[in-house]
A and B are shown apart, each in its own frame.
Chain A
Amino acid sequence: NAGVMQNPRHLVRRRGQEARLRCSPMKGHSHVYWYRQLPEEGLKFMVYLQKENIIDESGMPKERFSAEFPKEGPSILRIQQVVRGDSAAYFCASWEQGHEAFFGQGTRLTVV
């Protein structure tokens, strides 16, 4: 049973470009969470999705950030017009009722 898969592992974007981060949850998991981690800090919740639905996006900036979890395919975190302050590690975690959440290895975004 493959774990949570995130890609790419590393992503470099110039200011103003778009970043698309992908997360394939564990098989059988229909809940996905995205977190952001700045250097030397803990993880901060961004958004919680269940298949085709956004359940809680209270931690995600309203401008430039969006997330989706389609019926088929991975969850996508999209950041438009990236700025240097978006540089961070982005983790997704997947979960199913009655089980613990499992984290992917993260995507490290660097904005130059």
Chain B
Amino acid sequence: TQLLEQSPQFLSIQEGENLTVYCNSSSVFSSLQWYRQEPGEGPVLLVTVVTGGEVKKLKRLTFQFGDARKDSSLHITAAQPGDTGLYLCAVPNAGNMLTFGGGTRLMVKP
């Protein structure tokens, strides 16, 4: 059983559609991070959420941390082909070691 379960695993949509991906756990976290990884590249940090119920916006991306700090969601509005990639949630421990979810692989078709 993974500490972080991400869903869906794969998502293929048309340009302009909206989508939401999820990161769920039975554990409580002090913070949670979202990364995007493009093919052939390393993960790049998008956002860190810390407070239960927190909502952060990054252009067309909206991140929410659950009230109980056990889960998080990423919503993309009007997806574009440039949003294509692997979206990973991760939680850091005290030594900043990251535990990653399995990821959601998003493909946005023009």
Contacts and interface: CB of A to CB of B under 8 A. Distances in A.
Chain B interface category by residue count: 20 to 34
Given A100-B48, A106-B42, A43 B95 contact: no
A48 B88 contact: no
Nearest to B100: A42
Contacts, number: 52
A44 B96 contact: no
A55 interface: yes
Interface in A51-101: 55-56, 91, 93, 95, 100-101
Nearest to A96: B96
Contact of B43 (A31, A40, A43, A48): A43
B58 interface: no
Given A42-B88, A43-B88, A103 B95 contact: no
Nearest to B45: A100
Contacts of A101: 45, 92, 96, 98
Contacts of B101: 42
Query: Can you list the 3 inter-chain pairs with the closest CB atoms, starting with the nearest?
Result: A103-B42, A42-B100, A42-B102
Given A45-B98, A101-B92, A106-B42, 4 more contacts: A33-B97, A35-B98, A42-B102, A45-B99
